[in-house]
Amino acid sequence: MRYGAAASIKLMNSVYGYEGNCRQFAERGTCQYACVTGDASACGAEVMPMNAFHFIGLAEADMGSGRRRPDAARPATHSTACDLEERHMRSAILEVAGGPEVMTLVEEARPIPARGEVLIRTHAMAVSGPDALIRRGVYKWGPPLPANPGNEMTGVIVELGSDVTTVSVGDPVLLSSRELSVRGGCYSEFRAVPAAAVHVLPPSVDLKQAVVLPSYFVAHAMLSLTVTARTRSIFVNGAAGTIGAALVELAKARGLQVIGTVSSDDKAAYALSKGLDRVINYREERVLDRVMEFTGNSGVDVAFDHIIGDGFIDVLKMLADFGTAVAFNSFTPVPKEDVFHTMRELSTKSIALRVFSSHTFDHDLTVLRGLTAELIAMLAAGTIKPTIGIELPLEDVVYAHRRFDAGDVIGKIVMTP
């Protein structure tokens, strides 16, 4: 028997003692059976009798206008809100390394959360650098083939394994595979992971924006390690990239002057919208000369560079006294010139070089989770505003990776189930 909107909502209210409505459940996709269209034909499931309908009451913060009646007992089940569906899902898998075309969409069994695990219904998946490296077979932390290359997702918890007490069904969460023993696995409609690996998000946070936070993590960690009380200015090579734009936003939140490079007018406009103070088109201007001009020939306190290459020597030369150059996420050839020789020539400035990798935190989850929690708070407060460049369905994963490889998307590429 099918139930329309009013019947479905009334059913859940009467069974589990909630006054009000379930509109927010449906908006979040927590329970697709709480149809709010008013059209019975739009209800996507055969609804079971009241005494067999499994629905977990959400936290009051997630209830919209609803509230739990004092006399209503909480259901003692760990079943998913969507038990009525068959237990299957779609995932993007690659069996051989290569270009975007090696990925295929497959149907596989939906995981059942084990002890200490939660099952997440995916809301958004980010396309990031590590995903492409896994796909190419050059990421030493990647999973063995056949592999699911996704590393970042947001969603809603729909099922709990045994002994899970720290989170609840209905919690919106962020997951980064940085906090798992094996990378990858996020290009799926559902995912079962340890409850300790998820970050519960405030109800006000947009789940598509939140999936960009792992990219902000790299920027936040680098700034936390290098910015001191004497830091006044920074340089960002590639200020319109995902991490570059995050560096701009986070540095401006710290009150720093930010100078950055871009390759086009549209990327310049984007970087400036993120708060960039001075923009340099590296295709048309000599970067070192412009940086020294902008700083009154004193240089910048910290310079962030993921490109390296021959231009890295100029990055060292643009540093102020006691300045630090940070090289991160670089897979380009090393400079032809002798870096140490250049640093020795600049010894009177006492500059430093740091090579940064987020994998340093692989065995320090306390710091990793602490920095991520700070980013979640900043997102909730509106301090940072991640930009989604394009949004695509999971079935367009090949096209999504082609666009990522082309590097022509301003903002994050985000996929939805």
Whole-Å CA distances, 13 to 19, 80, 385: 6, 17, 36
pLDDT, one tens digit per residue, over 268-278 is: 999 999 999 99
Q: pLDDT > 70: what percent of the chain?
A: 78
pLDDT, one tens digit per residue, over 99-153 is: 999 999 999 999 999 999 999 999 999 999 999 999 999 998 999 999 999 999 9
What does the pLDDT average to over 168-185? 95
The lowest-confidence range among 52-66, 96-110, 140-154, 298-312 is: 52-66
Give domain limits for the chain.
5-68, 88-206+389-416, 215-359
Phi, psi of 126 (to 5 degrees): -90, 150
- pLDDT computed for residue 363 by the predictor: 85
First to last CA, the chain: 27
The reply to whether 88-206+389-416 and 215-359 are identical in fold is no
Give the position of tokens 């993120």. Answer: 274
- Cα–Cα distance between 34 and 45 in angstroms, integer? 10
CA angle 96, 330, 402 (to 5 degrees): 45
- pLDDT computed for residue 165 by the predictor: 95
- What homologous superfamily is domain 215-359 in, according to CATH? NAD(P)-binding Rossmann-like Domain (3.40.50.720)
CATH code 3.40.50.150 for 88-206+389-416:
no
| Whether the Cβ atoms of residue 237 and residue 262 lie closer than 8 Å to each other | no
Task: Look at residue 86 and tell me whether its pLDDT is greater than 70.
Answer: no
Cβ of 13: how many Cβ atoms within 10 Å?
17
| Whether the Cβ atoms of residue 203 and residue 61 lie closer than 8 Å to each other | yes
pLDDT, one tens digit per residue, over 334-370 is: 777 788 888 888 888 999 999 998 888 888 899 999 9
What does the pLDDT average to over 303-309? 85
For the entire predicted model, the pTM comes to 0.76
More confident residue, 188 or 339: 188
- pLDDT computed for residue 214 by the predictor: 95
Whole-Å CA distances, 338 to 5, 288, 417: 70, 18, 48
What does the pLDDT average to over 217-230? 94
Whole-Å CA distances, 413 to 29, 73, 152, 190, 392: 21, 43, 12, 19, 8
